[in-house]
Amino acid sequence: MGIAKRIIPCLDVKDGETVKGTNFVDLRHAGDPVELGKAYSKAGADELVYLDINASFEGRKTFADMVTKVAQEINIPFTVGGGINELQDVERLLYAGADKVSVNSAAIRHPELIEQIAQRFGSQVCVCAIDARLDEDGWHCYLKGGRERTERGLFEWAKEAQERGAGEILFTSMNHDGVKNGYANEALAQLADSLSIPIIASGGAGNKRHFLDAFTIGHADAALAASVFHFGEIPIPELKRYLKTEGVDVRL
């Protein structure tokens, strides 16, 4: 048996509220981030991800305060991201109680940030989040919550992130985000087969089969989702029992 596959609810936080959108826009409210985190921890989630979705261009002291509250209420690891531009940001969030940090826009602009985080706090702390879209000329990475296209290709950037010391890749397919038609399994499999660090699938979960496909076709190490959990469409205990019966190694 390999390492158990992980189920990770993702909470996008805006102005202290959990929100969820489709293709990165059309946000609707999904509840209090601390209470939701507590409920997911009790329901058997393996980890949580909290993303301050406006942090790349807004101030965010309130987010660090929320991280402290989450840390006091849950007993599973959680990652926080959004607007992390330098080591001081990482330090502040880890000090507030986070287990890992997720870097995205700043890492593409300044790839040495990944090395600095890994050297200072260890690779296990550094999750490199990649928002990518399949355009006519291939998979491209995007910045600022999907607003700005870069010329970085998904696969070469993921490889560089690993080489610089990232401990995990969190890959969100913008084409699939919130659409609920399944994950980008071909791209996931290509990432998983070319890298040695864990790959977290994000974007596209609509039913239990989609999670199964992410693990079996996409070779992902973890599957992240938001709306299907936030709005009660797929209870985590039910999802894990289903995956277990399908032969996927999960922690029940």
Catalytic residue numbers? Answer: 12, 131
Asked if 200 and 229 touch (Cβ cutoff 8 Å), the reply is no
Distance of CA 61 to the CA centre of its chain: 21
Distance CA 98, CA 29 (A): 23
Radius of gyration of the chain (CA): 16
Cβ contact 208:217 at 8 Å: no
Q: Is 127 helix (H, G, I), strand (E, B) or coil?
A: strand
Helices 61-73 and 33-43, axial angle in degrees (round to 10): 30
Instruction: Give me the phi and psi of 4, to 5 degrees please.
Output: -60, 140
Name the 3-class secondary structure at 46.
coil
Neighbours of 50 (CB within 10 A): 27
11, 21 contact by CB (below 8 A): no
- What one-character DSSP code corresponds to residue 75? -
Distance CA 191, CA 53 (A): 25
